């Protein structure tokens, strides 16, 4: 059961990070800290696992499609 809870929590943190990545130009390192990730490299790996792209590329892509 704990594995499911941890995955859910991580999914929520990644979703929380995706919003400012898509709407601001804050650096991914700052966003990762605000979302509870203490290590930016770990955040990048986790984000890639859930979104199949890096946090920086995700933010640029979403902002470009909105422009």
- Sequence-distant contacts of 24-32: CB under 8 A, at least 24 apart: 25/59, 25/63, 28/54, 28/55, 28/56, 28/59, 31/55
Q: Closest Cα partner for 55 from 35, 34, 36, 27?
A: 27
pLDDT at 65: 86
Which domain does 21 fall in, by range? 2-66
What pLDDT shows up at residue 31?
A: 96
Q: 22-50 pLDDT, tens per residue?
A: 999 999 999 999 999 999 999 999 999 99
Total domains in the chain come to 1
CATH number at residue 54: 1.10.10.60
Place 67 in a pLDDT band, splitting at 50, 70 and 90. low
Residues 6 or more apart whose Cβ sits within 8 Å of residue 6: none
pTM above 0.95, yes or no: no
């Amino acid at each position: 059961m704990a594995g499911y809870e941890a995955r859910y929590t991580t999914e929520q943190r990644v979703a929380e990070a995706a919003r400012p990545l898509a709407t601001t130009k804050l650096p991914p390192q700052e966003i990762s800290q605000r979302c509870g990730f203490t290590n930016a490299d770990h955040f990048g790996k986790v984000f890639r696992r859930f979104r199949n792209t890096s946090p920086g590329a995700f933010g640029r892509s979403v902002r470009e499609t909105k422009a």
